[in-house]
Structures are given as structure tokens and as C-alpha cells.
Structure 1
Amino acid sequence: MTVQPNPVDRPAPLTGAIRRVLIVDDSRLQLRILNAILTRWGFEVLQAVSGVEALRIAAVSEPDLILSDWMMPQMTGLELCRRFRALKREGYGYFILLTSKSEKGEVAEGLDAGADDFLTKPVNAEELRARINAGERVVSMERQLSEKNREVSEAFARLKEVHEAIDKDLRQARTIQQSLIPERVKEIGTSRVSLFLQPCGHVGGDLVGMFNPGHERLGLYSIDVSGHGITSAMVTARVAGYLSSKFPDQNIALEKRFDRFYAMRDPVETARLLNQRLAADPGVEEYLTMAYVAGDLRTGRMRMVQAGHSQPLLLRAGGEVEFIGTGGLPIGLVDAVDHEQHVVTMRKGDRLLLYSDGFTEAVLRNGEMLGEEGLVQLFRDSVKVGEGPDLLADLYWRLTAEMRAADQLDDDVSAALLEFDVL
């Protein structure tokens, strides 16, 4: 390999991306010539007389640039390039093959082996300098990209840690929200109450519940807080405290009489008190819809208030269907609101279903929503095969079987079921 030295000294590299250069040639004379030129230009120069030696040096010192002759005994520059590319290293190493080969096929072979550039012999110092400058730009951009990738990787790792912490908190929040429904099924006299709750995410804005202050009296409710996620779940937690089954003295639907027992307030009064508490909270923009029933399980008389919630479905033992309620304003939307009370009498074998709009607004495979008629049909089918919590589970299964995306709910789904005088 013959090098034509350039008598004019050149300044040090502009970017400094290439500092350490490994020259590989079986001719020691050519090594001395290249070493003199590169040293004068300010590079740290390493030398190897064979490809095998070059690989050992490259594995330890990680040169920024390799200048290698193509034709060498034992290992050609082409094979050296392939093996160099296979080494594990932190940054990119630029590889220039020095050769007398200029045919397109041989150049393509060198590119396939991983070479970045070529210099034909005899090497001109000006051209060598230009090729190194080109390599400087490539290595500099690669290092900038690697640094950005490192920063992105570190940021992603931090985000992953944060996500895992949030996910852990959400799983715990889901457990806490599920605990808001301590009893999923309860038999009261000859009647049975069952509850079902399936959030569309970790936590949701739906809430169902019941309380039994004694003497076959029942409070049953279905609530849907506006929005989804953590904020809605926090509101449901507060409302669950207002309608607590464990602490009757905190339950706004109950009123203590004669320091001896708790009487059930009128549902309209219960809705008013709940609205008063939610509307008075500063900074809370969430509101909720609610269907609430105060029932006498001895007579079957059910007093009900519907505050913007889905109309409760009454399925008579004989198969007749009634939707109860006329709408009404949600709870917490305005400071003062009066709701209408509805009264129905249940008879032996009747079933009353309170449910969220996650049922009726579920999108089916045909692109349409289930709607009230679809819910009635699913409910009738489920009544034929199950009772209590099994009935609600079957109802949910039938719903998801009909949905367009059965594995992804768009809204929370919840239901409260009263089976009257069935035991």
C-alpha cells in the first residue's frame, strides 16, 4: 500500500468525534507513514500488522476509526470488518477499507461486510483527510443519537417505575372500591338482594349497595358518577359513606327514632340531603345519577326516586315488564332540586333490576346500542337459567357476548337485583 504524504499540516478534527484511530496493514512501512500523518493531525494512533491483532486491540481499546488494508494474509480487511461489526461496543466505529479494488461488485461486497467508506491506493493525504472528516460527521451524529436514545431509555425507565407505582396504587384502589360493597348477596325474609359491579378500568364511577335497618326493610340503590377513573371513584367512596350499611348513624337515608331504632327517610328527602352535600363541596364538579328504593319487604311496597338514572326494570312473575320513573335531574348538578317519588307494589316472584347505562349504551356487533328492549330480552333469558348473583353474572356474560368489543368495556357496568318473595 502506497501513501502519498501531504506536506501541509492539518488542524485537529473539528468535532473531536474521532480521536482514536486503528491502522491495520501487513506492511510496517505503510504503518509508519500513516501513523506519521495521523499523529500530525492530532489523532491517537494504534497499529496492527494483521486482522487477528487488530481484533484484539479493537476489543479492548474501541477505536473510533479503523483504516484497514483489504488484502492481508490470514485475515482480509473484509473479514476483519465483518468481525469488527460483531464486537460488542458502546459507540459506533467507522471503518474505511484501503484497496486497489474499484469494481462495483467488490465495493458492494465491502458495503455488505459493514464498511463505511473506501480509499483506493495509492492514498492521497487530502482525500484521506476528507474521508475522515466525513466519518467524523457520521460518528458525531451517531453519538448524538445514542445519547438521545440513552436519555429516552432513562426517561422510559423512570416512566415505567412511575407507571408501576400508579398501577399498584390503582390495583389497591380497586380492592378498596370493591370493599365498598361488603355483601354481594343478602337474603332478607323471603326475598333476595344481589349486587354486581364491573368497572371498565381499574376503578370506576358506578356504585351499587343495600342496607337493611331491620323489620324486613330495605334500602337499595344504583349510582353512576359522571366521568371515569380515580376522581369518579373518590366520589363513589364518599357516597358509599353517606349510604353506609355498617354505620346507620352516618347513613343519610336513615333517621334515628326514640333512640331505639332507625326509620327510613322518604326517598325524595334522601335525594335532597345527598344533593345538598354534593352541591356544597367546593371545587367538585362531578355529579351523579341515582335510582334509590326504600322498600317494605312485608307488603312489597317500594318507594322510589329516579335522579337522572336509567329507569329501573320491573319484571313481573307473569312476564310483564314495567320501566319505572320519568327521569329527573342528577344529584349534585344544581344547588336545590325536587325529585318525584314513585311507588310500586311488588308481588311474589317479581324481580326489580336497578342498572347503570353501561348496559343499555353498550355497543353491539351491529354498531347499535343494546337499549332498553335489548336489556329486557337479555334479562328474560338470564331469569330462565339462574337466580341471585348467578343471574346477574349470566346477564353480564350475555351482554359481553353481544358486544362489538367484548374484551373492552367503554363504560362501567353495574346492577342491583331484588327478587321479591322467592325463597
Structure 2
Amino acid sequence: NQNLATAKDQLEQNNKELRDLNQKIASANDQMTRDLEAAARVQRALLPAEETLQFDCGDVAWRYVPCHGLAGDFLNVFQLDEDHIGLFVVDVSGHGVPSSLLSVTVGRFLTPKASDSSVLVRLREDGSTEVVSPVEVATELNQQFQSQDFSELYFTFIYCVVNSKTGEMRYTASGHPPLLHISTAGEAAFETLHSLPVGFFPEAEYEEKTIQLQKGERVYLYSDGVTEAMDKDLEQFGDDSLKEVISLNRS
């Protein structure tokens, strides 16, 4: 039957085209996966080289465990000058490529330059440098990274400056989860600052607090990926669990 033969030929042609299309889609997906993996490697390469860094005021240890290859979180630790170190955590809203690109952009913006002024270190007229206060840094970030509306990307941010000689730590937070401070007696306390994330309002104001760190005390910075992680029953880990776990394992 001629009609059946024609229909069979058409079906075979359609199946071939479908196989070719599936092959192209699979190839495109493989390429996209490779590109995302490469981007994730680049993002991770911009993090501190060592997961434990030693300074005069003590050690700084960090862990970076994104849920996906690319993450909207970023962190850094660095020497600002002879007497001060800086450390920050940035958490961009959303997931995927747009969030990761913004997190890296903000991270590079916050990286101090070797021989010039930056948002973190101010160059004086006499050639000496001055560490910019955390609240000034937050204000400058908010001016530089304004969203056009609330649907666009924004980010939370916590930034600390530690005097390695005296142990004084100044810090600010922009809509970020509170810093967790562990005293020498093992008491855990969240140090909360109330402020909006970066990018909402150009006139937003930010707070700054000071903690006098004593030998043996610890400070924890983290993103909401820790406290909002869910178990098999869809219960969030939460602030109380974080405080309990850190208190029990403070040694």
C-alpha cells in the first residue's frame, strides 16, 4: 500500500530528525555543564588560597560549600595594613549565573589594591594609608550597587576590621545574618545589626559596632544558607541549632 509506505518513510524521517535534535540538545547541555564547571572553578580560585590563615591576632578559617557549582556567596580575608585585617561575606539574592557574577564583582570591588586607594583603604596626601571604617564601606557599596527595583539582584553583606595589635574588631552588616560571638567562657551570642540589604535605597543608613576580642574568643560569619538548610522533614536548621552546635564544639 503506497500510503502506508509513504507514512512509514515519513515516520522514519521524523524519528531521524528527532534523534538528531536530541543529540544536539545533549551536546549543548554538555557544553553548558562544562562552561558552568569552569566558571565555578574560576569563582573558587578567587577565594583565599588557604582555608586557614594565620595573623598576629589569631587564625582565620573558612569553608565554602555551595549547594550548586555556582554560588551567590563570596568571602575574603586579607591584610589591610600592618595593624589591621579585613574579612567579609557577601550573599547575593537568587541562584545561578547572575548571582555568581554579581558576587564575584562585589568581591573584586572589595579586594584591596596593592598600591592605590580602594573602597577599604584610603590613600592620604602624604602617601600613607588609612583603613576606611566598615560603615563607610557599606555606604559606598550601597551607592555603587543600586538595584532599579526590588525584583533585581541585591545582596547582604557583613564586613569586619580587626586590629591585630589590640584585638578590637569593628564591623557592619547590611541585611546579613548576625555575627556569632563565642566568649572565653563558651557563651554564644548573636551580635545583631538592623539594616537593609545593599541596593534597596540609595539613602540607606548603616550601623557599626565594636567588640573587644579577648584571647581564646571566636567570631563566626556565615550566610543564610547555613541556618535555612532543611532536613528531611523540611525543618530549617535555624539560629538556635547553629548556636548550640558551635557552643558544643568550641574546643
Once the two structures are TM-superposed, the CA of residue 216 in structure 1 deviates from its matched residue by 3.0
- Report sequence identity in percent: 29
1:328 maps to: 195
Amino acid at match of 1:345: Q
Q: How does 1:71-110 map to 2 (within 5 A)?
A: none
1:177 maps to: 43
Bigger radius of gyration: 1
TM (norm. structure 2) is: 0.91
Comparing 354-363 and 148-157, the one that deviates more: 148-157
CA distance in 1 between partners of 2:209 and 2:47 (Å): 26
Matched, 1:279 2:146: yes
Amino acid at match of 2:29: H
1:33 maps to: none
| 2:79 aligned counterpart, secondary structure | strand
2:13 maps to: 147
Change beyond 3 A, Cα 1:195–1:379: same
Superposed CA offset, 1:176-228 (max 9, x none):
10112133322111411122211211211001112212223111111100111
CA distance in 1 between partners of 2:204 and 2:164 (Å): 29
CA distance in 2 between partners of 1:181 and 1:248 (Å): 21
Q: How does 1:304-323 map to 2 (within 5 A)?
A: 304-323=171-190
CA distance in 2 between partners of 1:360 and 1:15 (Å): 65
2:32 maps to: 166
Once the two structures are TM-superposed, the CA of residue 162 in structure 1 deviates from its matched residue by 1.0
Amino acid at match of 1:315: I
Once the two structures are TM-superposed, the CA of residue 383 in structure 1 deviates from its matched residue by 2.8
1:235 maps to: 102
Change beyond 3 A, Cα 1:230–1:247: farther
Change beyond 3 A, Cα 1:149–1:382: farther
| 2:246 aligned counterpart, secondary structure | helix
1:123 maps to: none
Change beyond 3 A, Cα 1:231–1:349: same
Once the two structures are TM-superposed, the CA of residue 274 in structure 1 deviates from its matched residue by 0.7
TM (norm. structure 1) is: 0.55
Aligned residues of 1:287 and 1:331 also touching (Cα < 8 A): yes
CA distance in 1 between partners of 2:24 and 2:128 (Å): 56
2:5 maps to: 17
Matched, 1:157 2:23: yes
Change beyond 3 A, Cα 1:313–1:149: same
Aligned residues of 1:195 and 1:209 also touching (Cα < 8 A): no
1:219 maps to: 86
Aligned residues of 2:112 and 2:121 also touching (Cα < 8 A): no
Amino acid at match of 1:17: A
| 1:319 aligned counterpart, secondary structure | coil
Aligned residues of 2:147 and 2:154 also touching (Cα < 8 A): no
Aligned residues of 1:248 and 1:254 also touching (Cα < 8 A): no
1:260 maps to: 127
| 2:173 aligned counterpart, secondary structure | strand
1:383 maps to: 250
| 2:229 aligned counterpart, secondary structure | coil
CA distance in 2 between partners of 1:269 and 1:190 (Å): 23
Q: How does 1:182-197 map to 2 (within 5 A)?
A: 182-183=48-49, 184-197=51-64
Change beyond 3 A, Cα 1:203–1:272: same
CA distance in 2 between partners of 1:170 and 1:250 (Å): 33
CA distance in 1 between partners of 2:204 and 2:212 (Å): 26
Amino acid at match of 1:269: E
Q: Which runs of 5+ in 1 are unaligned?
A: 1-12, 19-139, 385-423
Aligned residues of 1:210 and 1:245 also touching (Cα < 8 A): no
Superposed CA offset, 1:73-128 (max 9, x none):
xxxxxxxxxxxxxxxxxxxxxxxxxxxxxxxxxxxxxxxxxxxxxxxxxxxxxxxx
| 1:236 aligned counterpart, secondary structure | helix
| 1:156 aligned counterpart, secondary structure | helix
Amino acid at match of 2:5: A
CA distance in 2 between partners of 1:359 and 1:288 (Å): 16
* Higher helix residue share: 1
Aligned residues between the structures: 249
CA distance in 1 between partners of 2:142 and 2:114 (Å): 20
